[in-house]
Amino acid sequence: MASSVSGAEEVRVSALTPLKLVGLVCVFLALCLDVGAVLSPAWVTADDQYHLSLWESCWKPVASETWRCSSTLGTDWQIATLALLLGGAFLILLSFLVALVSVCIRSRRRFYRPVAIMLFAAVVLQACCLVLYPIKFIETISLKIYHEFNWGYGLAWGATIFSFGGAILYCLNPKDYEDYY
C-alpha cells in the first residue's frame, strides 16, 4: 500500500488487488455472456424443426423448406423473462462501468460496495428469469417432439454465475487483503 504525506494529513492510496482484478474480469465475462444470451436464436430447440429465442419462435413444417416465425413478445411470461434478463444485464453493465472507473481512480474502496450490491441485484433478477423461463415454457407450450434447453439458456446461466462470483469478490473486505499485496 502506498502512502504520501501532505502536511499533517496522510492520504492512503489503495493498490488494485488481484481479487478485485479477477472480480472485474468476472463482471466482463458476465456481460459478454449476457449479450450472447440475449442475441441467441436458440434458447429451446426441438429436432431441427423448432427454435425458440427471447425474441421469436420459429418452426419448420415437415413438408416445407421454409421457416415460419412469430414474435414471442405476445405473452406476458416471455416479456417478463426478457425484462428480467435485460434488467440484470443493465445492472451488470453499470457495475462493470463503475468497477472500470474505480480502477482509474485512486480511492477505490468506496466503489466496492455499490458494485457488489448491483451484481447481487443482477443475480437475483437473472435467477428469477432463468427459473421462470422453463417453468412457463413447459406449462404453456406443448411440443409433441423431444426438445431441450439450448446454448442461449446456458449462456444466461453462465452470466449469472460469473456475476455471483464477481459480487463475492467485490464483497471481500479490502482492508484485510490489500496489506498483503
pLDDT tens across 40-62, in order? Answer: 988 888 877 788 888 888 888 77
- Residues found in the chain: 181
pLDDT of residue 106: 64
On whether residue 11 sits in a domain, the answer given is no
Q: What is the pTM of this model?
A: 0.81
Phi-psi region of 162 (alpha: psi -120 to 50; beta: other; left: phi over 0): alpha
Please identify every stretch of the chain with a pLDDT value under 70, giving residue numbers as ranges. 1-16, 106-108, 142-145, 173-181
Contacting residues for 36 by C-beta, under 8 A, at least 6 apart: 152, 155
Which cell is 14 given?
489503495
On whether residue 180 sits in a domain, the answer given is no
On whether residue 59 sits in a domain, the answer given is no
- Domain of residue 160: give its range: 21-40+76-174
On whether residue 3 sits in a domain, the answer given is no
Contact in structure between 155 and 35 (CB atoms under 8 Å) = no
Cα separations (Å) of 142 from 38, 94, 136?
Answer: 23, 38, 11
- Count of domains forming the chain: 1
Triad 95, 99, 105: Cα angle to 5°:
145
Q: Report the CATH number that the domain containing residue 35 is assigned in CATH.
A: 1.20.140.150
pLDDT of residue 105: 78
On whether residue 46 sits in a domain, the answer given is no
pLDDT of residue 16: 61
